[in-house]
Amino acid sequence: MKALILSGGKGTRLRPLTYTGAKQLVPVANKPILWYGIEGIVAAGITDIGIIISPETGGEVRSRTGDGDRFGAKITYILQEEPAGLAHAVKVARSFLEDSPFVMYLGDNLIENDLRPFLESFKQKHLDSLILLRQVPNPSAFGVAIADKSGRVLQLIEKPKEPPSNLALVGVYFFDRSIHQAIDEILPSARGELEITDAIQHLINTEKMVESRTLEGWWLDTGKKDDLLSANQIVLDNQIRPLMLGTSDDRSQVIGRVQVGKGTTIINSSIRGPVVIGENCYLKNCFIGPYSSIGNNVNIVEAELEHSVVLEGATIDNIQQRIVDSLVGRRAVLGTSPKRPKAVRFMVGDDCQIELV
């Protein structure tokens, strides 16, 4: 069994942040989104992993993620020259996949459920494909499945105007080798891409065994700022435990589930968890509220922050009004002058400098 993780794409919904980096490497609780998928796949017992990369961000994905040793896996990087669809990505990876069954995982997705029960069902029933579904309130924004009571998939519809069900396709698919022939026999869609939904529908039309399972836990597509902040909140709620590896002075309060990395200094500040703070940060005269993640080498002085994600190397200085629901890019600099509004919200790309006047 192999795995194929898709880590290409332009990340247009997270711009300007993704003008300078891969969306799959944006951190949730100070860990790249992509790594959660790798860890989930390895936990299911799959260690031979191919990662689809793009020319624009592939070098960064490769350098940050490495050869797989840190995950107990072997990673092969596969270049997709252009974003020509999910099925096209499978076609590009054919020499890696060969005739092995595989799980395909979209690298900007996060799911709560363990993959092992789905994998075992796929193997035991000798299915051609097993797809994961999730009930959603806005199915017209997704690929939608029609399935019978046993879970057998009858039809897939991509972003229907009048959805026949509320079951959206989650970005996790299990395939047998029959998917390759299906991809060879489909045509590009109206947007010029080879769609994986069309390939799965071809399996259904040719009477292959395609079943579904519905996720009971949370599923998050982290393609937009608010989705990423929601993912950060959920992961902090479920995974953060108190850990102090840095230092805080007697005037500081660190309350609740807070993780602080090595080399970080906290002076005259209040930190209320769940919060994760990276290594070599400097925090002085500030308040860090719940559901905040602060990357490595961040400086925050005379500022208040909550429900926000601050990436590596950023500086926030002398902003007395509270920063909420914000995403601040790497090495960004935020400062202020005396006239201040009551609250501010930011989505700030890498290397920006912003002064409130």
Tell me the pLDDT band of 108, cut-offs 50, 70 and 90: confident
Using DSSP bridges, classify how beta strands 48-53 and 143-147 pair: parallel, antiparallel or unpaired.
Answer: unpaired
Question: What's the CA gap between 56 and 11, in Å, rounded?
Answer: 11
Do residues 29 and 76 make contact, with C-beta atoms less than 8 angstroms apart?
no
CATH of the domain at 223: 3.90.550.10
Report the pLDDT value the prediction gives residue 78, as an integer from 0 to 100: 97
Tell me the pLDDT band of 142, cut-offs 50, 70 and 90: confident
Report the pLDDT value the prediction gives residue 348, as an integer from 0 to 100: 66
Are 106 and 10 in the same domain?
yes
Report the pLDDT value the prediction gives residue 141, as an integer from 0 to 100: 85
Angle at 286 between CA 285 and CA 289, to 5 degrees: 155
Are 185 and 271 in the same domain?
no
Tell me the pLDDT band of 83, cut-offs 50, 70 and 90: confident
Residue at a domain's end among 205, 235, 265? 235
Q: Pull the structure tokens for residue 53.
A: 């990369």
Tell me the pLDDT band of 351, cut-offs 50, 70 and 90: low
Report the pLDDT value the prediction gives residue 95, as an integer from 0 to 100: 96
264-282 residues labelled b (16+ CB within 10 A) or e (exposed): bbbeebbbbbbbbbbbbbb
Residue at a domain's end among 180, 208, 235? 235
Report the pLDDT value the prediction gives residue 350, as an integer from 0 to 100: 64
Question: 9 pLDDT exceeds 70?
Answer: no
Residue entry with tokens 């799911």: 111
Q: What is the mean pLDDT of residues 184-189?
A: 94
Question: What's the CA gap between 43 and 45, in Å, rounded?
Answer: 5
Report the pLDDT value the prediction gives residue 221, as an integer from 0 to 100: 74
pTM: 0.88
Question: What's the CA gap between 7 and 80, in Å, rounded?
Answer: 10
Please write the tens of the pLDDT for every residue from 200-259: 999 999 999 999 999 988 888 776 778 889 889 999 998 889 999 999 999 999 999 999
Do residues 340 and 322 make contact, with C-beta atoms less than 8 angstroms apart?
no
What separation in angstroms does the CA of 217 have from each of 5, 116, 121, 134?
A: 21, 14, 18, 9
1-5, 81-85, 324-328 — which one is most confidently predicted on average?
1-5
Question: What's the CA gap between 114 and 87, in Å, rounded?
Answer: 25
Question: What's the CA gap between 151 and 148, in Å, rounded?
Answer: 5
Residue at a domain's end among 235, 266, 292? 235
Using DSSP bridges, classify how beta strands 129-135 and 167-175 pair: parallel, antiparallel or unpaired.
Answer: antiparallel
Q: What is the mean pLDDT of residues 15-21?
A: 51
Domain range for 115 is 2-235
Are 289 and 223 in the same domain?
no
Name the percent of the chain lying above pLDDT 70. 90
Report the pLDDT value the prediction gives residue 92, as an integer from 0 to 100: 96
CATH of the domain at 310: 2.160.10.10
Tell me the pLDDT band of 293, cut-offs 50, 70 and 90: very high
Q: Give the count of domains, the chain.
A: 2
